[in-house]
A and B are shown apart, each in its own frame.
Chain A
Amino acid sequence: MLLTKKDDALVATLEQAVKAPAGRSPWADARGRFMRNKAAVVALVVLVVITLLCIFGPMVMHYEFDTADWDAMKLPPFQGNHYWGTDESGRDLLVRCMIGGRISLMVGILATICSVVVGIVWGATAGFLGGKIDGLMMRIVDMMYAIPYLLIAILLVTILGREFYLVVLTITAFSWMDMARVVRGQTLSLRSMEFVEAARAIGVPTRRIIFSHIVPNLLGVVVIYTTVTVPGVILTESVLSFLGLGIQEPMTSWGVLIHDGSGVMDVAPWLLLFPCALLSITLYCFNFIGDGLRDALDPKQR
């Protein structure tokens, strides 16, 4: 018998010190670490607040985003009912910011989801297959990096038009490469890990190795890089809109608002400042959350 009586007594003491039967999965561990990062948690709260305001705010406000009010043109903020003032057509800035936020965030999330999906598929395939195919796929990624995205974006938008989905597609086309690279790198390193070798030694079929062993261990980097991609995408959309190539009137986004505000910034600076501040704060939040996630999911902390 392996354990003697003396061992039983020791083992019983150990058992008491042992935690509850349901183990602490690596995700739960990471969640705990994330929650301890104050900056990240605050950023998350702020982001949630902004998102909720953008979604539900316009419903409770008594102004429409596109109603012109000729009596209240270019009102400065904090006076009367227009909390953030109005623009040169008398449209309430706060509501326009919130509507703009809807569009910016939506474009941001949609384009991110698309580029994440493309990036994962591209990167995991390249990483797992290796060899010449990997080389070819990564050279294509390099070529995409080399293309000046703004010029091509201008070209695409001019040719294809400025529909909402086309803007999303254009942004996706230039945002998936980071994710592909990162996923490929992670797949490569996972492939040579001992537990993958152990799975092969057991005789686990390749398909199951990919789904049970490689993919779950990819999710960590995917989550991190997603939160890094979102601000980039939102910024790209804002830049396109600023250049007049993004969302069309009467839809608005933060980029459009900044474009409009910059035109009159010497006489109505609030029209520039508020959208800028909103955009900056949102980007800041995503960055803090991304940092927090990176620290939380850092494998060295295990």
Chain B
Amino acid sequence: MTKLIDVQDLNVRFDTPEGVVTAVNGLSFALERGQTFGIVGESGSGKSQSMMAMMGLLAANGSASGKALFNGEDLLSMPAAKLNKIRGNRVAMIFQDPMTSLNPYLTVERQMTEVLEQHKGLTRKSALSLAIQTLEQVRIPDAARRIRMYPHEFSGGMRQRIMIAMALLCQPDLLIADEPTTALDVTVQAQTMQLLRDLQRDFGTAIILITHDLGVVAGLCDQVMVLYGGRIMEQGSADAIFYRPTHPYTLGLLGAVPKLDHEGERLVAIPGVPPNMARLPAGCPFSERCPFVMDQCATVRPALEPSESDPMVLRACHRAVADVLRDAETVLPT
């Protein structure tokens, strides 16, 4: 059975006054139906741009190369008309700021029925009842009355739920969520993530979750990919990444997250600053900040290969797993 998503060697480049910036470099991953996939990274990691490229939403000065197969068809080389039929219909995307992703001049009803009329050819009436039903599924109380309201009349959490509802209207095979809860309060975030979990369980939608928040990924995703400077650092199951991390960046990231349950007083602080995407080193992009750096790291790019300790985990690092784990306690800076 063809995989739902099969990305092969995706590269995204931007033409800027400072030169060509390669935001995403050699990204490859695959997703089966109903799986959840987390893409974790900080600013400059290229996580958002990779998905924008797949959906054909890159800025004018951006270009993507490689393959992004959706059910066997390459999204990157698809003509715009065909891509439009897939976007919003088979693949839906939700963004970080629900205020700016909803049109403030249209009622929620109009925005939702528009999607259904466009993609499913429904009449206004049947589109309306389906829309109300979907709003109820995302737990918006009093949906039939509220659907006639404008986006600004809802709270941030509810707007995000409306976005999720809109994304689910056509029962897509894949939902791409780009930092869906970053702008929300913690309690609202918990509700939203719970909602996504329930929807995924009920509808079997595959979800790609893009975020910098490791906690959110831990709650939802089966597979996790860690990006830095546009390249994959480590990729594997959630269990492997969270419980048995072997890449210096993953270790640093997990150590830097403040934990409720951990009594240790100091956080791991990866030194340095986020990468300058216009001037990346020829080798590993993390070499400038890596506590385990060796001479070759800045010049020779480590290949993404199955890890020595676990062949199901892909890892891009010159240091052997055993070395990293042995020295982790002492080398990681706090």
Q: Which residues does A use to contact B, with CB under 8 Å?
A: 3-4, 6-7, 10-11, 13-14, 17, 33, 36
Contact = CB atoms under 8 A, between A and B. Distances in A.
Contacts of A14: 272-273, 288
A10 B290 CA distance: 9
A7 B271 contact: yes
Main secondary structure of the interface of B (DSSP, over half): loop
B34 interface: no
Given A3-B271, A7-B271, A17-B279, 13 more contacts: A4-B333, A6-B271, A6-B291, A6-B331, A6-B333, A10-B271, A10-B272, A10-B288, A11-B271, A13-B288, A14-B273, A14-B288, A33-B17
Contacts of B331: 6
Contacts of B289: 10
Interface string B31-49: 0000000000000000000
A98 B166 CA distance: 65
B333 A7 contact: yes
Interface in B8-30: 17
Interface of B: 17, 271-273, 279, 288-289, 291, 331, 333
Most chain A CB within a 10 A radius of its CB, from B271, B288, B289: B271
Contacts of A36: 17
A3 B272 CA distance: 11
A132 B316 CA distance: 64
Contacts, number: 20
A296 B7 CA distance: 39
Contacts of A17: 279
Contacts of A3: 271
Contacts of A11: 271
Nearest to B273: A14
B272 to A, nearest CB: 6
A228 B273 CA distance: 41
A37 to B, nearest CB: 11
Nearest to A301: B17
B287 to A, nearest CB: 9
A34 to B, nearest CB: 12
Nearest to B334: A4
A214 B279 CA distance: 35
A33 B17 CA distance: 9
20 contacts: A3-B271, A4-B333, A6-B271, A6-B291, A6-B331, A6-B333, A7-B271, A7-B333, A10-B271, A10-B272, A10-B288, A10-B289, A11-B271, A13-B288, A14-B272, A14-B273, A14-B288, A17-B279, A33-B17, A36-B17
Contacts of B279: 17
A11 B333 CA distance: 14
Nearest to B271: A7
A184 B281 CA distance: 46
Contacts of A13: 288
A67 to B, nearest CB: 53
B11 to A, nearest CB: 24
A180 B13 CA distance: 43
